[in-house]
Amino acid sequence: MTQVKTSAITRLIVLLVKPSKYDRDGYLLRFMKGVLPSNSFAAMYSLTKSAFSSPALAGLACEIHAFDEVVWRQKFDAKKEIKKYLNGNTKVVVAFIGVQTNQFPRACDIASLCKEAGAEVVIGGFHVSGSISTMLDGIAVSDARRSDVPSPHIMPPEIDSLMKNGIIIFHGESEGMWKDVLRDIVMGKQKLLYRGGLPDLTSAPIPEFPPRYLEDFAGCMETLDTGRGCPFACSFCTIINVQGRSSRFRNPKEVVAKVKKICGQKKIASFFFTDDNFARNPHWEEILDGLIELKKSGHNFTFMVEIDLASHKIPKFIEKLGRAGCWQVFIGMETVNQESLKKAQKGQNKVSDYQMFCDMLHENGMIVQAGYIIGFENDTKDSILRDVATIQSIGVDKVAFFILTPLPGSEDHIKMHCGKIPMDPDFNLYDSFQPVCEHPQMSRAELLEAYEKSWKEFYRSHYMIRSLERCPKHYYWWLFKMYVWYRNSALGEKTHPMMCGFMKLRSRVRDRRPGYAIDSIPVHIAKEFWRYMQYFGHIFREFYIFQHVYFQSQLKPEIASRLSQDVRGVKDWFARTFKLPATRVWLNAFWIKYGRQKWNLFWKWHLHGKMLPYAFTEIVYTIRFWMALNRNAKTMMKG
């Protein structure tokens, strides 16, 4: 190990930046509160702390400062931050971490500012790693099982351009090499391309979030990857070409110890094990057995995982998952069309098993979330909506919809590139929520319309009620919060839940995408005022939709049937308002009838008098629902 020996540099400042992306109007996507914390962020924070204590950086005064651009309080002013620390004895390194393709344009924009300000810049993540693996190395080189996948064996042009501008590219995973990158930078001997490969994780530091990081998120969910890699070969997936198809794993005892440590800091600890496929970690049983023992000793925690649809064949896996405290399982269902699954090389999914698999998860006390892709070549506008109804009939509680996208780093992308099939050149669009290439059955506008309708159709109030009725009581408010989050994202913020937060904030000048016109102050204020009015209108509407969902999901069927009938006199009205379990069915029926009077309301004044008791009930119901939300706010925030 070469120790840093230089009299010039005595201090090292590392600025970890998780970039966001631009929205359709060129504004940076940023929220008052985030929802999904980044595990890449936690991993790189712990790796940087570990690097500081290594012999490679001995003798230096080292500091880390972290910025997650998706939340407002952590906005990154590149020139200001670098100027704050840079001097003749200090080296400033700006590391852009976990950069996905849709975040790549934003990362490049800030990287050039950082370089101009005098910092050294490193960019890593799925875009650069996936692109180099498929465009330069070739899938066939690392995976003999896919020797037929073509490759031009060239450095991706956008990455080559960065290196020509002196920006360091990190390909692969950082464990085992990050300290060497920082040492080389301090010594002035940095390379333009580093390859971390697929390191062993058994001795790697456990991911850890920066202090107070989670305060900017609507929840206290910790993240942790217990392993990496997936054995399957889905053609649309980038993960297998970045993290490999062989499972690598952390020390199971350290995973359990991490859970135990967090339990000691919180009343209820919540985790997301971010493995692409937890079921294929060869040490899943040791981890689950350790968590079961923690449960028995009184530790209060729960977690969610992602698994494949063939995992139900693993003996005791589903049963132990439930006993260990798993409350939600994410499954890559992708489609209910077996032919589409076959073409995507996802043969492990058997549509005929979907119902049985969901039933197994429900029987073991878990909530089912599915990833569902829209835009396979057999899909049409009509078939997509029929498929949404099929997913509901199967019993999936939550769905995250995606548009089939040839992401750089995937087999689909490299085949389209080598086949010279047109794809949109704007990487900002590659978020799997916007069409980037032509579909054989639909125009881009029709595909986007079908995608947006899918969200509306699945998250109807009647289906949320049905799911909440079958949900285990102790997870009721957790699932309720998920429905609030998903509807707010897809229908309110018009942003995918995986990238969304609560209350989008947009700056007129700062962080605008280059090339977009900047509105005058009066025009910007007018546009933002109208946007906020629309959003608050959405919140008002959602409040009463979820009031209905809450009241209805609490009712027993026989009571719900009786209370759906019209009010029979003052005594019945009084009982419904103050004594009986609340339901909005009869209330909604009155408002519909009242609204149909239209212009008659101007001269039929007796109708207004008849409306008053119903309006009073609205006030009472609003108070009752608000009190229920406040009583369970802490539970909702833990999910």
188 and 223, same domain (yes or no): no
Block mean pLDDT (10 aa), the chain, length 639: 60 97 95 93 96 91 96 94 92 97 97 96 97 96 88 97 97 94 95 94 93 88 92 93 92 96 89 94 96 95 94 94 96 94 91 94 96 96 95 96 97 97 97 95 96 96 95 93 94 92 92 93 96 94 95 83 82 90 88 77 69 92 93 66
User: What's the token pair of residue 461?
Assistant: 């109030």
Position 524, amino acid: H
User: From CA 327, how far away is CA 472, in angstroms rounded?
Assistant: 9
265 and 227, same domain (yes or no): yes
For residue 93, the surrounding DSSP H or E stretch is: strand 90-96
257 and 190, same domain (yes or no): no
Residue listed under structure tokens 């609507």: 218
423 and 337, same domain (yes or no): yes
227 and 178, same domain (yes or no): no
The answer to the question of residue 68 being in a domain is yes
Q: Say which CATH number the domain at 422 has.
A: 3.20.20.70
269 and 302, same domain (yes or no): yes
User: From CA 215, how far away is CA 13, in angstroms rounded?
Assistant: 23
The answer to the question of residue 473 being in a domain is no
For position 1, what pLDDT does the model report?
46
For position 2, what pLDDT does the model report?
46
401 and 434, same domain (yes or no): yes
What's the distance, Cα to Cα, between the start and end of the chain in Å?
44
For position 597, what pLDDT does the model report?
75
Q: Which phi and psi angles does 450 have, rounded to 5°?
A: -65, -40
CA angle 551, 554, 558 (to 5 degrees): 105
From 334, 446, 348, select the one nearest 387 (Cα to Cα).
Answer: 334
164 and 300, same domain (yes or no): no
User: From CA 240, how far away is CA 204, in angstroms rounded?
Assistant: 20
User: From CA 326, how far away is CA 361, in angstroms rounded?
Assistant: 10
The answer to the question of residue 497 being in a domain is no
The answer to the question of residue 205 being in a domain is no
Last residue of a domain, one of 139, 162, 197: 197
Q: Report the number of distinct structural domains present in the chain.
A: 3
Q: What is the 8-class DSSP label of residue 428?
A: G
The answer to the question of residue 40 being in a domain is yes
For position 619, what pLDDT does the model report?
95
The answer to the question of residue 613 being in a domain is yes
- What is the DSSP pairing of strand 301-307 with strand 269-273? parallel
360 and 241, same domain (yes or no): yes
Position 611, amino acid: M
User: From CA 27, how far away is CA 50, in angstroms rounded?
Assistant: 36
User: What's the token pair of residue 556?
Assistant: 């027993």
User: From CA 98, how far away is CA 101, in angstroms rounded?
Assistant: 10
User: What's the token pair of residue 495?
Assistant: 């942003």
Domain that holds residue 115: 11-197
User: From CA 58, how far away is CA 320, in angstroms rounded?
Assistant: 45
User: From CA 621, how far away is CA 615, in angstroms rounded?
Assistant: 10
190 and 283, same domain (yes or no): no
282 and 421, same domain (yes or no): yes
For residue 543, the surrounding DSSP H or E stretch is: helix 521-553
Greatest CA separation for the chain: 90
Q: Which phi and psi angles does 461 have, rounded to 5°?
A: -60, -40
The answer to the question of residue 551 being in a domain is no
Instruction: Specify whether the CB–CB gap between 72 and 30 falls below 8 A.
Output: yes
Instruction: Specify whether the CB–CB gap between 132 and 138 falls below 8 A.
Output: no
User: From CA 4, how far away is CA 1, in angstroms rounded?
Assistant: 10
The answer to the question of residue 232 being in a domain is yes
pTM: 0.93
192 and 223, same domain (yes or no): no
- What is the DSSP pairing of strand 90-96 with strand 11-18? parallel
